[in-house]
Structures are given as C-alpha cells and as structure tokens.
A = this chain, B = another copy of it.
Amino acid sequence: MVHIGHSSDVEPRVYHDGEVVRNVEKRVLVGPGNAAPTFSMRKFTVGADGCSPYHTHPWEHEVYVLAGRGEVRFAGGSRPVAPGDFAFVPPNDEHQFVNVGDEPFEFLCMVPLDGEDG
C-alpha cells in the first residue's frame, strides 16, 4: 500500500563523535522498515560546524541538496553545493559532506539496501 509521511515526523538517528563525524541527523524516510525492495531514501541534516566522515564504501550515493550551504569533498578536490544541486558518488569513491554555512545543511541521500545500517 502507498505510504505517505512528512519527513519531520521521522525520528532521527544522531551521529556525532566531535571529530570525524559531527552534528549529523539521519532520518530513514523509506527503507527496510517499509519493505523497500531495492534502495533507501534518507534525509540528512548537518548542523553548523558539522560533517559526515571522510570515507568510502562499496555502494553508491545519489544525493540531492535541499537547504543550506555545503561542500562535497572527494579524492583530488571539493565542490560547493546549494539547493537544487545533485551529486553521484560511485561505489568506492572517497567522499565527505560538510556544512560550510551558518544554517542547517540538508540533503537527501539514497543508497542501495546494502548501504543502509538501519
């Protein structure tokens, strides 16, 4: 059955160790809990001075920026991103998402089910 909800009604999981990952909230909007068969849709909110870890893994990301000012860092460079921008991170490419503004940096990040840790 079709399931519809509002993203702010989904409880976030917080990621923060004060160093490699800071001020990150993840909301799994659609995923294993909905019996999604192929991939998950997650919404990330990265607070001021926040970032995801600089890391790599064997699955891809497909990202769409919703709000704020961010930077995508990757092997050999970085790029500023703003609402309406999108990013494709292929499997095994190093990457990091960093808030470089004063407001929350929000983006959707879709992954195949292999990349969803719940």
Contacts and interface: CB of A to CB of B under 8 A. Distances in A.
Interface of A: 1-8, 29-30, 34-39, 41, 43, 59-60, 62, 64, 66, 72, 74, 79, 81, 84-91, 93, 95, 108, 110, 112
Given A2-B79, A4-B86, 12 more contacts: A1-B74, A2-B72, A2-B88, A2-B89, A3-B88, A4-B79, A4-B85, A7-B85, A29-B62, A39-B62, A41-B86, A66-B66
This chain's copy number in the assembly: 2
Contact of A2 (B6, B8, B59, B74): B74
Contacts of A60: 36-38
State the majority secondary structure of interface residues on A: strand
Contacts of A3: 87-88
Contact of A35 (B62, B66, B87, B90): B90
8 closest A-B pairs by beta carbon, nearest first, are: A2-B74, A38-B112, A30-B88, A29-B86, A41-B62, A3-B88, A39-B39, A30-B62
Contacts of A41: 62, 64, 86, 110
